[in-house]
Amino acid sequence: MNSHNKNHNSIIFAGHFAIDQIIRFKRINRPSLGGSVSFCSLALRKYTQDAKIGIISHIGKLNFDDSLLDKIKNKNTDLKGIKYSHVKNTNFVLDYFDHARVLTLTSRSPNLNFNDIPLEYLDDPPDIFVLVPLCNEISYEYVTQISNQFPDVYIGIDLQGFIRKIDEDGKVKYIYDNEIISKMNEIIDLIGERLILKGSEEEMKLLAGECDDFEEVMTYCNKYENNGIYIMTMGEKGSMLTKKGEKILKIPAFKPRRVLDETGAGDVYFSIFLYEFIHSDKSWKTIEEIAYLASAAASFLVEKRGSAGFATKRAVLKRMKKKRYII
């Protein structure tokens, strides 16, 4: 697949903004802006000024402080794709303890609607359209419309918001559900060779039918009849990548100076990977180098709280060259 002949590199991130109430070891922090669209766009803008970044989202005005968007508005990011409604916004409580967390959804914005996408996005396709839902706000029909509208565009998929189950109390759970996984398989088949899919260790195991072995999980992805790229992020254990016909890549995690907040590290990894992928020759050797860059970029995120731990490409390259990995 060839990239578009453009003088810029454009990426659109679609999904909910969230207000995150983070509790760490029973200490409650002030609510902060969350959601993959936040972390992905802010990380990429810090990394480079070259990319043209757009966001598609739906914000509930009743409990959303618009000043939370100031840090994004000031980063030359196109926000014309945001729709507002007089409802409550997507809010999460993230309760961390011993590197684990309990995630609770307390309110939710409306689903994304294809008809709300600005006309200029439809007329001027991006290089990559990235679907990063939080709580099933992106439907199979929405993905189908995106795929049909942009037949020559790469499509990034973050598994989390597609396969999470949310019970009546708002508790977010990762439980194997045949209907959810079947629908996810349909999405994967629909996108085909244009797919770049990322999931956490827990999410990828569910996709693979609750396999426990990392190698088995990645090997499972080769069952799909496409040449898509599959990425599993595993925190301190690094990440793994696979593509049909290629060897499985094992990428180490880089040592941060300290660990304060792991929230959003996978988003940083994904956004940097996708940006570098657009620029690359798409060879598996180059993709391995890109994955090291993405891993190094993610290591900066955990050093600060909230959406503040981002780094320039220069800083990321410097850390990558030092090769200080978590063993």
pLDDT confidence band for 24 (50 / 70 / 90): confident
**280-304 tens-digit pLDDT:** 999 999 999 999 999 999 999 989 8
Pairwise CA distance, residues 165 & 172, whole Å: 6
Among the listed residues 30, 92, 38, 88, the one whose alpha carbon sits nearest the alpha carbon of residue 63: 88
Whole-number percent of the chain with pLDDT over 90: 79
Confidence (pLDDT) at 99: 65
Confidence (pLDDT) at 2: 43
Confidence (pLDDT) at 4: 43
**165-210 tens-digit pLDDT:** 999 999 998 888 899 999 999 999 999 999 999 999 999 999 998 6
**137-168 tens-digit pLDDT:** 999 999 999 999 999 999 999 999 999 999 99
pLDDT confidence band for 309 (50 / 70 / 90): confident
Which long-range contacts does 271-274 make (Cβ < 8 Å, 24+ apart)?
271/11, 271/13, 271/39, 271/40, 271/41, 271/43, 271/44, 271/47, 271/130, 272/43, 272/44, 272/47, 272/297, 272/298, 272/316, 273/196, 273/198, 273/231, 274/11, 274/128, 274/130, 274/154, 274/156, 274/196
**201-234 tens-digit pLDDT:** 999 999 998 677 899 999 999 999 899 999 999 9
Domain boundaries, the chain: 9-322
H-helix segments, the chain: 36-47, 70-73, 119-123, 140-149, 160-163, 178-191, 201-207, 214-221, 265-279, 284-301, 313-322
Pairwise CA distance, residues 44 & 51, whole Å: 8
Whole-number percent of the chain with pLDDT over 70: 96
Q: Annotate 237-262 with DSSP letters as a single string.
A: G-EEEE-TTSPPEEEPPBPPS--S--
pLDDT confidence band for 240 (50 / 70 / 90): very high
Pairing assessment for the beta strands 78-85 and 51-60 based on DSSP bridges:
parallel
Close Cβ partners of 326 (under 8 Å, ≥ 6 residues apart): 236, 237, 238, 252, 253, 254, 255
pLDDT confidence band for 3 (50 / 70 / 90): very low
Confidence (pLDDT) at 95: 87
Q: What is the mean pLDDT of the chain?
A: 92
**Which token pair is 56?**
């598609």
Pairing assessment for the beta strands 18-24 and 32-34 based on DSSP bridges:
antiparallel
Looking at 3.20.20.210, 3.30.70.360, 3.40.50.300, 3.40.1190.20, the CATH number of the domain 9-322 comes to 3.40.1190.20
Task: Please measure the distance between the N-terminal and C-terminal CA atoms of the chain and give it in whole angstroms.
Answer: 37
Confidence (pLDDT) at 30: 82
Close Cβ partners of 263 (under 8 Å, ≥ 6 residues apart): 20, 22, 34, 94, 306
Q: What's the rounded mean pLDDT across residues 273-285?
A: 96
More confident residue, 96 or 279: 279
0.85 surpassed by pTM: yes
Q: What's the rounded mean pLDDT across residues 122-140?
A: 96
pLDDT confidence band for 8 (50 / 70 / 90): low
